[in-house]
Structure formats: C-alpha cells, structure tokens
C-alpha cells in the first residue's frame, strides 16, 4: 500500500490511514459503486489524493477535500458522450 512508502511518526500514519478509510466510506455512501474489479484501483487513486493533501498540510482535516477531489477527478475522467449526427456533419 502507498502509505508504507512515507516517512512519518506512527501516530501520523495511523491518522492518515483513518482519514483514508473515512474518505472511502464517504465515497461509497455517495454512490461510489464500482465494479468489484475496479475497487483496488479506485482505492489506490484515493490514496494518492490523500497523500497529496497530507503533504500540503499534515495537520489539516483532509477527508472532505479528498472526497471532493476524488469525485471531481472522476467526473473529468468520464467518457465523453458520443457526438450527434449533426455534430459529425459540422465537423466534416
């Protein structure tokens, strides 16, 4: 897991892991229903978000910002809607 690669006091690591798990529970509660085969990758993505926020401010509550960033990135990664036939004609 990503948290093994950081240098921090054991108490900080425990808080970081707890923040990660709280964020994951909120993501699941807000409709983060993933195909079971995608869960490890989604948890890894959340871990990178949590780590990035923690590195910016180790004393901040990072749960809400991590969840917001997770969903914001999910929305920007969504597949674009197929172009309508009118759009295809205009593009030609």
Single out the residue of 24, 10, 3 nearest to residue 66, CA to CA.
Answer: 24
Tell me the average pLDDT across 8-35.
Answer: 89
In which residue are the tokens 């780590």 written?
Answer: 51
Residue 27 is predicted with a pLDDT of 94
pLDDT bin (cut points 50, 70, 90) of residue 84 is: low
Q: 38-76: per-residue pLDDT in tens?
A: 899 999 999 999 999 999 998 889 999 999 999 998 765
HEC per residue, the chain: CHHHHCCCCHHHHHHHHHHHHHHHHHHHHCCCCCCHHHHHHHHHHHHHHHHHHHHHCCCCCCHHHHHHHHHHHHHHHCCCCCCCHHHHHHHC
């Amino acid at each position: 897991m990503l948290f093994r690669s950081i240098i921090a006091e054991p108490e900080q690591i425990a808080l970081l892991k707890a923040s990660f798990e709280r964020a994951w529970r909120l993501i699941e509660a807000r409709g983060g229903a993933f195909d079971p085969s995608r869960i490890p990758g989604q948890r890894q993505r959340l871990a990178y978000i949590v780590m990035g926020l923690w590195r910016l401010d180790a004393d901040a509550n990072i749960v809400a910002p991590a969840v917001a960033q997770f969903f914001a990135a999910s929305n920007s990664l969504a597949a674009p809607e197929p172009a309508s036939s009118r759009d295809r004609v205009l593009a030609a």
